[in-house]
Amino acid sequence: MNKKRRTDLLIGLKEHKIEFLENESMSAYSSIKIGGLTDLIIFPKNEAELISVVNLLKVNLCGYYIIGRGTNTLFKDARICMPVISFKRFNTSLSEIKKNESETVLDVGAGMSPSKILNYAIKNSIGGCEFFYGIPGTLGGAVRMNAGSKESVIGNIIDAIEIITDEGIKYIIKKNDLKFSYRSLDIDGIQGNYFITKAYLKLYNSSESKIKENIEVFKKRKSSQPLGEFSLGCIFKNPSGVSAGKVIEEIGFKGFSKGGASVSEKHANFIVNKGGAKPDDIMSLIRNIQEKALSHKGIKLNTEIKII
């Protein structure tokens, strides 16, 4: 970003009283606690602030990155010169907008975490989002990544979402126009970047005991993951019909370390920061695993995580 555009952008942000920080280390914004510096990180708190940010970026011709809580994003060492728009402080409202005998529709702000939605669902006997158990990050990130597990993904429970496009225009997009696929979302008719600002989740009425029973399968699975350590969740997508973790184990990378980064002993599709890991350590492990999976097993492992 050139100096004049940057100055104008900062003046605009101050005028609109939108929170931002300069020269921040991105390690504080990623669950693996790694990352270089960013010139500017902006924290819109609600839709009105986000539209102001988008308009300021448009006027000042700035590209940008969008992040939620960085639980699936690796920030490299190189300084990030484009502004980062963070949803860390974004709207976490949650309300029931429809309830009948069988269904409940929740209207939830994109800053809310999936695990808090699940807590609400348990307390209010609402079933259908048990697979949120142990998924960190924001709802916006979960929708963008179609987060979930083999039992269910968020795309299955979305009724509609609200987005702001990079033109600053708000749209409500209904389920039929949302094309969810494995850890991905495309929206019919929307090209370019968009910010997810809320989601309507269509869930069913259940009982607290039934929900707790349903959660057991996810609790059990999560107990096989290194949840107490700094990670980004699964690094690779599962290739068709195979578990990426199993492939990584079979090619001998379980427990393998590079610098401060290790392939988890608990779950080989997780890379953990044991302390002092550098982005290059992670990138090098990713490349080594990909090369060996291809040369020894003919399997192409694609990353699930986003790399900035």
Ligand X SMILES: Cc1cc2nc3c(=O)[nH]c(=O)nc-3n(C[C@H](O)[C@H](O)[C@H](O)COP(=O)(O)OP(=O)(O)OC[C@H]3O[C@@H](n4cnc5c(N)ncnc54)[C@H](O)[C@@H]3O)c2cc1C
Sites of contact with ligand X (CB under 6 A)? 31, 66-73, 87, 110, 134-138, 140-142, 144-145, 147-149, 195-196, 227, 231-233, 306
| DSSP-based three-state secondary structure for 13 | helix
Q: Cα–Cα distances in Å, from 144 out to 121, 241, 302, 306?
A: 21, 23, 17, 11
Residue the block writes with tokens 């348990």: 122
Tokens, residue 259 = 């610098």
Nearer to ligand X, 1 or 163 (CB): 163
Nearer to ligand X, 128 or 136 (CB): 136
Q: How far is the CB of 305 from ligand X (least distance, A)?
A: 8
Nearer to ligand X, 60 or 71 (CB): 71
Q: Is the CB of residue 279 less than 8 Å from the CB of residue 75?
A: yes
Q: Which residue is nearest to ligand X (CB)?
A: 68
Nearer to ligand X, 86 or 206 (CB): 86
Q: How far is the CB of 101 from ligand X (least distance, A)?
A: 31
Nearer to ligand X, 23 or 224 (CB): 224
Q: How far is the CB of 231 from ligand X (least distance, A)?
A: 5
Nearer to ligand X, 187 or 242 (CB): 187
Axis crossing angle, helix 208-222 with helix 114-123, rounded to the nearest 10: 150
Can you tell me the distance from the alpha carbon of 305 to that of 90, in angstroms, rounded to the nearest whole number? 22
Can you tell me the distance from the alpha carbon of 19 to that of 9, in angstroms, rounded to the nearest whole number? 12
Q: How far is the CB of 65 from ligand X (least distance, A)?
A: 7
Q: Who contacts 2 (Cβ-Cβ below 8 Å, separation ≥6)?
A: none
Smallest CA-to-CA distance from 256 within 292, 220, 223 is with 292
Q: How far is the CB of 164 from ligand X (least distance, A)?
A: 9
Q: How far is the CB of 148 from ligand X (least distance, A)?
A: 5
